[in-house]
Amino acid sequence: MTARSRMIASIAAVVLIAGVAAAFAVAWRPAIAAIDPPAAGSFDPALVKRGRELAAIGNCNDCHTVRGGASFAGGLPVPTPFGTIYSSNITPDPETGIGRWPEAAFRRAMRSGVNREGQHLYPTFPYDHFTHVSDEDDTALYAFLMTRPAVRAPTRENQLPFPLDQRVVVAGWKLLFLRRGSYQPDSTKSAKWNRGAYLVEGLAHCGACHTPRNGLGAERPNAAFAGGDVDNWQAFAINAQSPAPIPWTADALFSYLRRGWQADHGTARGPMAEVVSNLSSVNESDVHAIATYMASVFGAPSPDRVKQGEAVLAQAKLPATETPAAPANATGAAIYAAACATCHETERALPYGGVHLGLSTALSSPDPRNAANIVLSGVRPVAGERSPIMPGFIDSMNDGQVTALLKFLRGRFSNQPAWNDVEKTVAEARRTQAVFLQTSPGQNNAPADATQREKP
Amino acid sequence: MMTLKVNGRDHEIDADPDTPLLYVLREDLKLNAAKFGCGLGQCGSCTVMVDGKAAFSCVTPLLLLEGKQITTLEGLGTIDKPAPIQRAFMEEQAAQCGYCIAGMMMRAQALLQRNPKPTDAQIRAEMEPNLCRCGTHMRILRAVHRAARLMDTADASPAVHGSAQ
């Protein structure tokens, strides 16, 4: 070996060692020592109560509960473009849950997506948002979770291909996409707006569904709230690109998020049904704050859009008329008249009558998925409560008939161009809705407003 | 005119394609087991089976039924020779006013054809869309369990019209 080649070899070795050391520094996280599970009585009840509300805002139970399973015991399969990830058990069970986690471990998981043992967590757990949650709120969330009934439920093995099944790759993802830091208030905005921004960008993690993701599964920061995907539902754009026929206002948002429905927009369904079910149980002022912030994200609608919305609303309030069936789609028109119009074109107001479909965002949206999902599976009732309900037609309509219906609805109730590939969407919706309905835990709470609940 | 297959027989029906199945069953075919409750697919008293699956006949227009097998309670058994599901409901005295019961039996029948040994939780989940104002739910649950046991015995095989295809 010449001196020259020796030198190259030693430089290569140094670079390699430095690289490994750097990778190690990026990826390695120490374990945090296990503790004996703290007694439930050791937590201040007021703190636990606060934690309960925060957990509802964070929608924790929705992912960490599987249909038929115990609350917070995990096991929900979360389909991603990379494979299926199973939610974990966050009850205080010492062996299969977080019973042996000290608060510091919980805070580290929220802040940077690392479990007590020091392994990286997949970003299906939205720590890219939870990293903004304050210490104080993490403390309350910890107190709440540690006082739930401990449930023995081992977390299921994820179904991921190599190398994604190696948790160390998540360290690279974090390097690229995890932006830590507490929420910085905007002093030019109201306290309410700032409170809303803190919740929406942090714990409520609205963008996790409503912001589109890049090829590596990270939210695209320059497309915030421009619409995303979840469980084969389209999470609508909730910024200026919103496809809602009537522009959203802070009041309408509050009412929708709090009660689960709003007269000019309709009823929350799909994964959003569980979100509003949770929001029905929290402090009203936090829902007001979220609505205030989100109204500013939507932005003030243009005068044109306002005028269009008013026209749609006026149309929807006209008495029901016979549908002039386009001969090309007599099937769709007839299905609508017989199966849909009895609820969707009556004097019965929301939530117990159907929304006039001219107001439906699903029909004005560029993607027919949500409309297909809802025709197939309907709106499930909330157990033991009065709530909006719609029968699903999955067993009585074939794909061709659902397709005909959707094409008719799009033509009759939106001013948007016809959808493409409706048939394919319907077939896909039939396949995925069956899975979603079997695994999703469903709503626990009624549409919130108790005064409305008593109304017919 | 269209041909409607009900309880194993073909019927020529002269009605608009958007006519709800329930109206045709009750008014044209005089099959009165299925009841009009809400007319909105929300109460379940109109439940029948379409190709072996429970469907609300009040929101199922004729045009969806081309070539499909419809089964009503009349297709399961008769007063003299009740089907297992009917025997079970009688033996448990599951009916009070009875208005919802035909629909209850049809949904239970569809469940048992698909899953002959359902758990209590599965029965509760399946029967959720059907409402009973009298409150005989506990008896209805027992009746469905009893029907499962009856169907399990050789002498009481369920009627086959419209079994899943």
Q: Where residue B40 sits, what CATH number does that domain have? A: 3.10.20.30
d(CA B132, CA B143) in angstroms, rounded, equals 14
What type of residue is B14?
D
Asked if A42 reaches chain B (Cβ–Cβ under 8 Å), the answer is no
Residue B34 in any domain: the answer is yes
Residue contacts between A and B (CB atoms, under 8 Å): 50
Long-range own/partner contacts, residues B149-154 (CB < 8 A, 24 or more apart): B150/B84, B150/B87, B150/B88, B151/B84, B151/B85, B151/B112, B151/B116, B152/B116, B152/B117
- Six-digit token string for A253: 């948002």
Domain CATH code at residue B103: 1.10.150.120
| Interface contact A396-B55, CB threshold 8 A | yes
Continuous segment of H or E residues that includes residue B143: helix B137-152
- The answer to whether residues B93 and B146 belong to one domain is yes
Same domain, B69 and B111: no
For residues A277 and A445, is the Cβ–Cβ distance under 8 A? yes
What is the reported pLDDT for A450?
A: 39
3-state DSSP assignment of residue A83: strand
Sort out which chain B residues have CB atoms less than 8 A from A331's CB and list them.
Answer: 63
- Measure CA A295 to chain center: 18
- Is A338 in contact with A330 (CB distance < 8 Å)? no
Query: Residue A438 is which amino acid?
Result: Q
Q: Is residue B105 part of a domain?
A: yes
Q: What is the DSSP string of A43-60?
A: S-HHHHHHHHHHHHHTTH
Residue B160 lies in a domain: no
Q: Which residues of chain B, if any, have pLDDT below 50? A: 154, 156, 160-165
Tell me if A395 and B60 make a contact (CB, 8 A cut-off). no
Query: Is the domain of B38 the same as that of B94?
Result: no
Whether residues B39 and A396 touch (CB distance < 8 A) is answered with no
Q: Could you write out the DSSP letters of every residue in A149-217?
A: PP---PPPPPB--TTTTSTTHHHHHHHHH---------TTS-HHHHHHHHHHHTTT-THHHHS-B-TTS
A339, closest residue in chain B (CA to CA): B59
Which of B40, B55, B64 minimises the CB distance to A335? B64
| pLDDT value of position A387 | 80
> Are residues A57 and A279 in contact, defined by beta-carbon separation less than 8 angstroms?
yes
For residue B99, is it within any domain? yes
Domain range for B64 is 2-74
Q: Which residues of chain A have pLDDT under 50?
A: 325, 446-456
Contacts A401 to B, Cβ<8 Å = 64
Same domain? For B65 and B7 the reply is: yes
Between the CA of residue A289 and those of A299, A432, B76, B108, what are the distances in Å? 15, 34, 57, 47
In a domain, B165, yes or no: no
Q: Is B86 exposed, middle or buried (0-12, 13-18, 19+ CB in 10 A)?
A: buried
Looking at the partner chain, which of A68, A338, A389 has a beta carbon nearest the beta carbon of B18?
A338
* Domain assignment of residue B159, yes or no: no
State the Cα torsion A67-A69-A75-A76 to the nearest 10°: 20
Q: Which of B36, B49, B58, B59 to mutate to test the interface with A (most CBs of A within 10 A)?
A: B59
- Determine contact, residues A422/A407, Cβ cutoff 8 Å: yes
Helices (H) and strands (E) in chain B, counts: 5, 5
Q: Which of residues 361-390 of A touch B (CB under 8 A)?
A: 381, 389-390
- The reply to whether B97 and B145 lie within a common domain is yes
Distance CA A95, CA A29 (A): 21
Per the CB < 8 Å rule, is B64 touching A396?
A: yes
Q: Verify that B6 and B70 share a domain, yes or no.
A: yes
Q: Looking at the complex, report in whole angstroms how far the Cα of residue A342 sits from the nearest Cα belonging to chain B.
A: 7
- State the nearest Cα–Cα gap between B45 and chain A, in angstroms: 13
B68 and B113 part of one domain: no
Would the CB atoms of B18 and A337 count as touching at under 8 Å? yes
Placement of tokens 């709120």 in the chain: A137
Integer Cα distance of A422 and A429 in angstroms: 10
Q: Are B61 and B94 within one domain?
A: no
Nearest to A396 among B18, B40, B50 (CB): B50
Instruction: State the nearest Cα–Cα gap between B28 and chain A, in angstroms.
Output: 18
In angstroms, rounded to a whole number, what is the distance separating the alpha carbons of residues A347 and A366? Answer: 29
Amino acid at A455: K
Q: A395 and B54 in contact by Cβ < 8 A?
A: yes
**Domain final position from B55, B74, B93:** B74
In chain A, what residues touch B50 (CB-CB under 8 Å)? 395-396
Which residues on adjacent β-strands are paired with residue A234? A229
One domain for residues B47 and B67: yes
Residues B115 and B148 in one domain: yes
Report CB contact under 8 Å: B59, A397.
no
Number of domains in chain B: 2
Instruction: Calculate how close chain A gets to B51, using CA atoms only, in Å.
Output: 9
Task: Give the model's pLDDT for residue A381.
Answer: 78
Residue B162 lies in a domain: no
Query: According to the model, what pLDDT value does residue A448 have?
Result: 43
Q: What are phi and psi of B7, to 5 degrees?
A: 50, 40
Q: Which residues of A touch B18 (CB under 8 A)?
A: 334-335, 337-338
Handedness of CA A53, A55, A59, A62 (dihedral sign): negative
Where residue B133 falls (left for φ over 0; alpha for ψ -120 to 50; beta otherwise) is alpha
Of the residues B74, B109, B134, which one is the last residue of a structural domain? B74
Let me know if residue B127 belongs to a domain.
Answer: yes
| Chain B residues inside the 8 Å CB shell of A379 | none
Q: Which of B74, B96, B127 is the last residue of a domain?
A: B74
Tell me if chain B has a CB within 8 Å of the CB of A395. Answer: yes
Query: Looking at the DSSP assignment, which residues form a beta bridge with residue A235?
Result: A228
Using CA coordinates, name the residue in chain B closest to A400: B64
Residue B61: per-residue pLDDT: 93
Considering only CA atoms, which of B159, B155, B165 is closest in space to residue B76?
A: B159
Which residue from A minimizes the CA distance to B52? Answer: A395
pTM for this model (two decimals): 0.88
Do B49 and B105 lie in one domain? The reply is no
Q: Are B149 and B89 in a shared domain?
A: yes
